[in-house]
Amino acid sequence: MHPIAERIGSHLPQAFVAEAESFGELTISVRREHILEVCRLLHDDPELSFDLIIDICSVDFPNEPERFEMIYHLCSIDRRQRIRIKARVPEEDCSIDSITPIWKGANFLEREVYDMMGIRFKGHPDLRRILMTEDYDEGFPLRKDFPVEGKGWRDRFEFFPQDEP
């Protein structure tokens, strides 16, 4: 077991689900209720010191019981170490704690996850759509049940025909 996974396992045993290592990258799955504690541990602990937030994204698995997977990529500048934290979010209660108290850069990233996938973040200071327009009501584009061609939003734009001379 990787020392980082051991550390999380010993400090927060209720949060730890699984650990995997592939392509030289460490992936740790945690329970979504404890994501804030896990991230705080990773950020504050002097042994781990994952201070740079790289990315927050989400994947949609429509056939699995817990539909969405939140993926956090972190990096420790001093230790030159990268890590991936995963947490599953079910469709019925589609929300997870926001980690903006720890990393301010998570603000825009979580807004984009909300915009594209529909996962709500509890405690986010300003949760609204960022890439789509704010009143876009046709769903969440990156979900697998959203067609790639879109749902005809642009077909319903008002069309002003030119007057014939």
Partner 1 sequence: MEQQSGEREVPIASGEDAEDDLDDEVGHDPDKKVRRTEDLLLNMGPQHPATHGVLRIILDLEGETIVKATPDLGYLHRGVEKLCENSTYTQIIPLTDRLDYVCAMTNNYAFVRAVEKLLKIAIPERAEYIRTIVAEVQRLAGHLFWLGTQALDIGAMTVFFYTFREREVLLDLFELICGARLTLSYYRIGGVDRDLSREVIERLYKFIESFPGKIHEYNTLLEKNRIWLLRTRNVAVISAEDAINFGLTGPVLRGSGVNYDVRKAEPYGAYDKVEWEVPLGKNGDTYDRYWIRVEEMRQSAKIIKQCLDRLPEGPVIADLPEVVYPPRDKIYEDMESLIHQFMIAARGFDVPAGEVYVGTEAPKGELGFYIHSQGGNKPYRLRIRPPSFIHLGAFDHMARGYMISDVVTIFGTYDVVMGECDR
Min dist. Cβ of residue 163 to partner 1 (A)? 26
Map 69-115 to HEC letters.
EEEEEEEECCCCEEEEEEEEECCCCCEEECCCCCCCCHHHHHHHHHH
The residue among 134 and 163 lying less far from partner 1, judged by its C-beta, is 134
DSSP assignment, residue 143?
A: S
Q: Which is nearer to partner 1, 135 or 163 (CB)?
A: 135
Work out how close the CB of 107 gets to partner 1 at its nearest, in angstroms, rounded to a whole number: 6
Whole-number minimum distance, CB 66 to partner 1, in Å?
16
Closest CB to partner 1 among 80 and 156?
80
The smaller minimum CB distance to partner 1, of residues 8 and 109, is found at: 109
What does the alpha-carbon distance between residue 145 and residue 122 come to, in Å, rounded to a whole number?
25
Binding footprint of partner 1 on the chain (CB under 8 A) = 22-23, 25, 27, 51-55, 57, 59-60, 71, 73, 77, 80, 82, 84, 103-109, 112, 116, 129-133, 141-142, 146, 148
SS3 58: strand
Distance separating alpha carbons of residues 22 and 40, to the nearest angstrom: 25
Query: Please, what is the Cα angle at 123 between 62 and 37, to 5 degrees?
Result: 80
